[in-house]
Structure 1
Amino acid sequence: MAQIAGSLDVLSTRTGFNTAVRHIKKTLSIIDTLSANKNLADILDEEGEELSNEQRPVILRMILADKLGYKTASANLADAVEDISALAEEFERWKAVDLVITYYHPDMGVLIANPKRKESLASLGNLKKHELLVVFAGKMGKPADELCEKAANLALAMVQGIKAKIPEELYKGEFSVKPAKAAKQAAPKKTAEKAVKTRKVAKEKAEQVPAKVAPALTPVPAQKTGMRMTPMYSVVVQNELFHNGNVEAWKRIIDSYKTKYPELEVYIYYEGERIININSLFKWGKVKHGSTIQFAVAGKDIKDVAKLQRYLMQGASPQFEAFLKGPVSTVLKLF
C-alpha cells in the first residue's frame, strides 16, 4: 500500500495532477496518429516544443514497449562511434519493420531518432563509448515477431560497425518513409477572455521583444524536437601552461557566449572527460603547451561556434589578456 501511495504522490497536488492529465492526453493523441507509415520518432519530432525532453522517452517506452510490444536490442557501446547517418540508406530499405533508436547521451539525456532518415540519425552526433543505445523494432498494430527481433539485433550490430548479412524478407513490407513535417511551436496558454483583458499589456510587451533571428546553418542537422550537440571542436594550448589567466579568459568568453545565447550550453572536455569546473584545468597543472582541450555546444538553434572556437584559441594563447580588460563583473560583448 505504501508503494502505491508513493507512486501516486505526483497526483497529490493540483500542479502535479494537471501535469499528469496533460501528459496522458498528449500520449493518447499521439497513439491516434500512429500508422504503418508514421514512425513514432517522427511524430515526437513534429510535436516540437509542445513536448518536454522529459516526456519523450516516457511516451516512447509506454507506446512501443508496453502497448505495441516492440522487440528491443540494447548495448553499452564498446567503442566510440562517429557519424552513423550513412546507415539510413540501408535501414530505409527495411520495409518489413518499423524502427526507432534511442541513445542515452551522457550530457543531453535521451535522444530519439528514426534510423530510416539520414538527418534524424545525424542528429545523434558522435556516439560515446560505454553509453547505452537501444533499438526498437516492431510492426505497429501487428504483433512483433522473430523478424522484428532479428532486425533490432542487426541494426544494433550495424551501428557498432559489425558487418551483417541482411535477410531478404526485411526488404518486403509496408513500413516506408514519408516526408517529415515541420515541428509545432508551443502554443500560448491564454483563454480568449484573458486575451481581451490583457490586449494592451500584451501589445506593449510584444513591442519590447526583439525579432527572432533565423537559425544559422550548422554542420550536423538538428533534431526538431529539442537539443542536439555539435561535433567536438579542438583548441590547442599555445601557452607554456594553461594557467589561471587562461582560465579566467575562457570563463569570460563562455560567459559572453551564454549571455548572447542563453538557451545554449557549452561543454568542455579534456582527455575524453567532461570538465564541470574550468578552474580544474589550471589546478591539475597537466594542461601544457600543445595539449588539446575540446568543446561542444548543445541546444536548438546553434550559432557562432566558429567564432567561439577562435576566441577560445586566443584565450589559450599568450594573447589571453585581451579578454581580461574591464571590471570582473562586466560581460564582454564578443558575439
Structure 2
Amino acid sequence: MAKASFDPQEFRSALSTFTTGVTIITTRAENGDPVGITANSFNSVSLNPPMVLWSLDKSAMSLSAFTNNKHWNVHILSTEQEALSGRFASRGEDKFKGLELDQGINNIPLMRNCTARFNCRTAFMYEGGDHIIFVGEVLNFDKTDLPPLAFQSGQYALAAKKPREGVQLSATPPPECSYTEDLLGYLAGRAHFQLVASLRNLLQSQKLDEQQFFILSVLSIQDNLTLDEINGFVDYTGNSVSEAEMEKLQEYDLVVRVNKDNDSRYLLTGNGRDASVKHIALAKAVEEQVIDQLGAGEVEALKFLLKRLIKVTDPGLPDLWSSGEEKNVKTSA
C-alpha cells in the first residue's frame, strides 16, 4: 500500500481539530506494578454487547503491559483533573504517588473524581499502522455529574452544550434594527443584572449601595489598602471612591482607617467581614441555582470564557487576587 504524500505534521494538525475527551487508561504490568497512560483515542464501538476501543503507539513503554494483561480501566477525566492528565502523559515519575484509588471489579487501578469510569477486558487487538488498537468488552461502569475535560488542537478545552439554531430569548421576532439580542455587550450586561438581583435586595436590607459593596468586596480580598489602591481595583465599574464614602462606612462600623507610613489605610472591621460573608454566601447560593439549571459543565465553560473576555478587554487594571509580593515584582520589572 503506497504511503500518502502529504506532510505528516500537517496531517497531525488537521486531526487535532477534532475535539475529544481526555482519558487515563490503567492496567498492571506482569510484576503487578500499576501502569497508566493519558489517551484521547478512546471511542465507543457497540452498545450490545457493550464495547469500547482505544489505541496505543507501538513504541510506547507501556505496550507490553497492555498486551499481556487482558484487563484495563478507562477513566474519562473531569475538568478538575487537568494536572492528572499531564502527569500520566509524562515519563520518569511515579504517576500513582499520592492517589487514592477505589476497588473495582478487577485488580486494576481505579481512580476517583472522574466524569465516568469503565472496567474492561480485551476482546480484540488489531494493528493499525504505527498503533495497536484495543477493543474491549465493558464489564462495569459508573458516571458522575462532573463536567468532562476536552482536548482540541493541542490544548485542553471545556465542553458546553450549544442551543439549537434559531433559539432566541424572546418568542417574538426581533424588530428591524441593528441592535440584536446576540450582541455580546447586551448578553453580558443582562446576565449580570439578573444574577445580582438578589444581591441588591440584600444590600438594601443592609442599607448599602453597590459602590459600598464593591469597597467591602475589595477589602475582603486584600485588606490594608490606601484609597488610591481601592480605586485602582474598582476602576472597571466607572466610579471612583471618595474619602466621604469611606467615612460613611466607618460610621457604619464596617471599615476602620489606620495611619501607617504616612498613609491612611483601610481595613474591614468584624462587622464589615460579617457583611462580606453574607454577600459571598448569597453569591454562591445563586451560582448553585445556575449550576442546577445549566449544569456544572456549562457553568465551568462560561467561567472560562468570561475570564478570557476579561483578559482581552483588560485596560491594564491591577490584579486583585495577586499577593503583595507578586505586585512588587510586577512594579520592579
Tell me which structure has the larger Cα radius of gyration: 2
* Alignment TM-score, normalising by the size of structure 1: 0.22
* Alignment TM-score, normalising by the size of structure 2: 0.22
Using CA pairs under 8 Å that are at least 6 residues apart, name the structure with larger relative contact order, 1 or 2: 1
